[in-house]
Amino acid sequence: MSGDHGSAAIAGRVRHVEALLEQRGLLDDGEIDRRIDEFLAGGSPINGARIVVRAWLDAGFHDRLLADANATIREVGLSMAGGLQEQRLKVVANNEQEHNVVVCTLCSCYPIALLGPSPSWYKSEAYRSRVVRDPRGVLHEFGLKLPADTRISVWDASAESRYMVVPRRPTGTDGFSESELVGLVTRKGLIGTAAV
């Protein structure tokens, strides 16, 4: 849809609306750039990886996290309150019997304040429509082949509730340091479209 010409046209329209709002006192000089910088400096998948690794290493933290994620992530200095409004976070953990995957069928709800922007595929109609109907097939397309007897739970995020997955700790990582473990956890693992 949006080739170079389309992109230039909408860029001009956005600049025009910004100028109009500045004229009407609804936008401060430099506010847009400041807000973009804040956004990009905010959430990151590293935050999720730190939470996951703490849960791997500390069974008490793991249980508290699953019971009350909003309170428990504060133990590692993180919060769901960084965005426009604090959202409820529910953390679900994969195990031998069950794999979890997160979607927002209605749009794009995602713990942005904690994890940063979501990938484009997460916001696509293809993912949103299909992962609830055929989760096993969609995960297979992502290269994640789960055993036939693994139950798959799909969590549909909403305006007030966000989800994050704790992947299973990979085998053979017993001697890994905390930072090495953090390096194993990917954004897709936190959504549930990758094993870790």
Partner 1 sequence: MSRINDVGGMVGFPAVLEEPDEPPFHADWEAHVLALNAALIRRGVYNLDEFRDAIERMPPADYLAASYYERWFAAITTLLAAKGVATAAELAGQEGLPTAADPVAPSDLADD
Tell me which residues are annotated as active site: 104, 107-109
> Toward partner 1, which CB reaches closer, 64 or 130?
130
Kindly state whether residue 11 participates in binding partner 1, applying the rule CB under 8 A. Answer: yes
100 and 153 in contact (C-beta within 8 Å)?
Answer: yes
DSSP-assigned states of every residue in 40-61:
HHS--HHHHHHHHHHHHH-HHH
* Extended strands (E) in the chain: 88-93, 98-103, 151-156, 161-166
> Toward partner 1, which CB reaches closer, 57 or 126?
126
Residue whose tokens read 């397309």: 141
> Toward partner 1, which CB reaches closer, 97 or 120?
120
The least CB distance from residue 145 to partner 1, in Å, is: 16
The least CB distance from residue 149 to partner 1, in Å, is: 24
* Subset of 83-142 contacting partner 1 (CB under 8 A): 84-85, 103, 105-108, 116-117, 119-121, 123-133, 138, 141-142
Question: Can you say how many angstroms the Cα of residue 89 is from the centroid of all Cα atoms in its chain?
Answer: 11
39 and 45 in contact (C-beta within 8 Å)?
Answer: no
Residue whose tokens read 């979890």: 100
> Toward partner 1, which CB reaches closer, 31 or 98?
31
The least CB distance from residue 102 to partner 1, in Å, is: 13
Q: Cα Rg for the chain, rounded, in angstroms?
A: 19
The least CB distance from residue 107 to partner 1, in Å, is: 6
Size of residue set near partner 1 by CB under 8 A: 55
Q: Which residues pair with 102 in a beta bridge?
A: 155
Residue type for 80, please? M
Residues near partner 1 (CB under 8 A): 1-2, 7-21, 24, 26-27, 31-33, 35-36, 39-40, 84-85, 103, 105-108, 116-117, 119-121, 123-133, 138, 141-142, 156, 159
